[in-house]
Amino acid sequence: MNRLILRYSLGVLFALLVSFAAVTVIFHQAIVRKMETQTTPLVGRVFADIQQRLDAASGADRDRILAEVAVELDTRAAILPAHSQRLSERSRARIAEGRTALTAEGMHSGSTALVPLADGSVLAVGPLKPVFGPGFWDYVLMLLVLVVIVAVTATAMSAPFVRRLKRLEVAAVRIGQGDLAARADVTSMDAVGSLARRFNEMAERNQQLLEAQRATLQAVSHELRTPTARIRFGLEMLSEAKEPTKIEERLRSIDEDLNELDHLVTELLELNRSEVPSGTVRESFAVLPVLTALAQRAGEFTPSLTITVDAPPDLSVAAEPHLFRRAIRNLLANAVRYARSRVVLTARQGDDQVEITVDDDGPGVPVDQRVRVMEPFARLDDSRSRDTGGVGLGLAIVARVVASHGGRVEVGEGPSGGARFRTYWPA
Ligand SMILES: Nc1ncnc2c1ncn2[C@@H]1O[C@H](COP(=O)(O)OP(=O)(O)OP(=O)(O)O)[C@@H](O)[C@H]1O
Ligand SMILES: [Mg+2]
């Protein structure tokens, strides 16, 4: 974080120096242009008198005039031949036209005035103290003032930003160290605030997932213990049994317990597979034929039940077909198990989702159990489902499948007083 701030400040400083240099160059050019159009003619007028005196004089007189000028202007004065190497090409061109020239170089050290004399030589007076424009130390001062203003403004503007980023960083570090409940305390409406909200959502989901996993693992260990204890007990009894009928009975009961274990493992694997893997393309398919086929299968072994399907033929959902069928099949299996005489399967287009409802006329789910039944291994009446061999994962699988499609499950009461399970799917 500190490295980032340092790099940012160095970047700003660099930009400042470059722009200052650019401005200075433009300024310099402007002064040179002014000098050519306005100052040079002026200087020509100023030196006209000395020019006349020098033209009239010669030898020692000339030297005396030069010394006088040098003292008066506090600089140097000399007479150069016209072809002198010290004159720039531009100056020479001007002098050839009989005009005064000013050297442009050395803005801060002062330029030299070049005045053509009648005999073809050139009077050079300089360096002349700059008449206008800032000097070297003025530039240093300007740069300093600029740096201070920009530094103060940039710091004032970025400090809250940096503070928020730091808070986000602290939360990330704490989660990294295992504190899953840590959240970034950033509520601003800027980019950092939105990043923090995404971060907190992610942290929340991770925490929930991990807690659910921990709870499932605990429940699994608990569930595994019952059949294994029964098998151990059965084996002990087997070693004591003498009659062939007793032995056969014991073996059958051990086989049943093994079947239960097998079923549990299969269901657990299903639960693990009940989320749409990210990147899978959801298919859009018609609901009616799928529901009809599922209802037919569910009713195969319970001919006394009436299972009706009520869905518009043109209604379709966007879902992973295998998982969709699995969820509805689980709901139907429960309904068929608890219904007295009727199961109704309804699909309809909701506001922006497709609703699929399974109603039965069985005992229903008590209001205070409606959240719990969706959890793994939750069974309302232990003896009731033990008889039918349920492990209590069916609804947990439904919940996961539906959630991974961005939908939800509602548990309620159907029109005939039985259970109602309503699922919401993307259209
Ligand atoms: N239609 C229903 N009517 C009454 N109770 C229900 C109904 N559906 C589920 N339940 C209750 O919710 C519990 C959990 O259901 P779930 O489908 O998760 O497990 P299960 O049916 O017992 O076992 P599994 O589906 O894993 O074979 C059931 O044991 C039952 O007590
Ligand atoms: Mg079930």
Question: Which DSSP letter does residue 427 get?
Answer: -
Dump pLDDT digits (tens) for 126-145.
Answer: 888 766 667 788 889 998 99
Q: Count other C-beta atoms under 10 Å from residue 269's C-beta.
A: 10
The distance in angstroms from the start CA to the end CA of the chain is: 45
Rounded Cα–Cα distance for residues 317 and 284 (Å) = 5
Rounded Cα–Cα distance for residues 193 and 408 (Å) = 29
**Ligand 1 mean position, distance from CA 392 (Å):** 6
Rounded Cα–Cα distance for residues 91 and 126 (Å) = 14
Would you kindly state where each structural domain of the chain is located, as residue ranges? 2-126, 283-426
Q: Candidates 385, 387, 423: which one to mutate for ligand 1, based on the most atoms within 8 Å of Cβ?
A: 385
Residue owning tokens 């966007």: 318
* Amino acid 384: pLDDT: 45
The finding on whether 360 has its CB within 6 A of some atom of ligand 1 is yes
**Ligand 1 mean position, distance from CA 375 (Å):** 10
Q: Candidates 266, 272, 395: which one to mutate for ligand 1, based on the most atoms within 8 Å of Cβ?
A: 395
Rounded Cα–Cα distance for residues 294 and 345 (Å) = 10
Q: What are phi and psi of 344, to 5 degrees?
A: -120, 130
Pick the CATH number of 2-126 from 3.30.450, 3.90.1570, 3.40.35, 1.10.10: 3.30.450
In 3D, which of 212, 203, 354 has the Cα closest to residue 271?
A: 212
What residues contact residue 123 under an 8 Å CB cut-off, 6+ apart?
Answer: 47, 50, 51, 54, 77, 78, 79, 113, 114, 115, 116, 117
The finding on whether 334 has its CB within 6 A of some atom of ligand 1 is yes
The finding on whether 267 has its CB within 6 A of some atom of ligand 1 is yes
The stretch 19-24 carries a mean pLDDT of 91
The finding on whether 298 has its CB within 6 A of some atom of ligand 1 is no
Q: Is residue 426 reached through a cis peptide bond, with omega within 30 degrees of 0 on the bond before it?
A: no
Ligand nearest the Cα of residue 412 is 1
- Residue whose CA is at the smallest distance from ligand 1 atom 25: 394
DSSP E strand stretches across 83-175? 101-102, 113-116, 122-126
Q: What are phi and psi of 305, to 5 degrees?
A: -90, 145
Percentage of residues in the chain having pLDDT higher than 70:
95
Calculate the average pLDDT of the chain: 88
Tokens of 315: 């209604």
Rounded Cα–Cα distance for residues 392 and 196 (Å) = 38
Q: Candidates 373, 381, 386: which one to mutate for ligand 1, based on the most atoms within 8 Å of Cβ?
A: 373
Q: Please name every residue paired with 124 in a beta bridge, in sequence order, or none if there are none.
A: 78, 114
The finding on whether 382 has its CB within 6 A of some atom of ligand 1 is no
User: Burial code of 80-112, b = ≥16 C-beta within 10 A, e = fewer?
Assistant: beeeeeebeeebeebbeeeebbbbbeebeebbb
133 and 161 Cβ atoms separated by less than 8 Å: no
Rounded Cα–Cα distance for residues 265 and 256 (Å) = 14
414 and 304 Cβ atoms separated by less than 8 Å: no
Residue 360 CA, closest ligand 1 atom number = 1
The stretch 108-121 carries a mean pLDDT of 83
Rounded Cα–Cα distance for residues 375 and 373 (Å) = 5
The finding on whether 398 has its CB within 6 A of some atom of ligand 1 is no
Asked if domains 2-126 and 283-426 share a fold, the reply is: no
What angle do the packed helices 2-34 and 136-176 form, to 10 degrees?
A: 160
In 3D, which of 99, 89, 95, 94 has the Cα closest to residue 41?
A: 99
Dump pLDDT digits (tens) for 358-398.
Answer: 999 999 999 999 999 998 888 887 644 445 557 888 999 99
Dump pLDDT digits (tens) for 53-85.
Answer: 888 988 888 899 999 988 988 888 999 888 888
Q: What are phi and psi of 165, to 5 degrees?
A: -60, -40
CATH 3.30.565.10 fits 283-426, yes or no: yes
Ligand nearest the Cα of residue 260 is 1
**Of 94-103, 141-150, 272-281, the least confident:** 272-281
Q: Count other C-beta atoms under 10 Å from residue 114's C-beta.
A: 27
Residue 263 CA, closest ligand 1 atom number = 27
The finding on whether 385 has its CB within 6 A of some atom of ligand 1 is yes
The stretch 135-160 carries a mean pLDDT of 89
Rounded Cα–Cα distance for residues 291 and 345 (Å) = 8
Rounded Cα–Cα distance for residues 177 and 184 (Å) = 15
* Amino acid 107: pLDDT: 53
Kind and range of the H or E element at 48?
helix 40-56
**Of 192-196, 268-272, 381-385, the least confident:** 381-385
- Residue whose CA is at the smallest distance from ligand 1 atom 8: 334
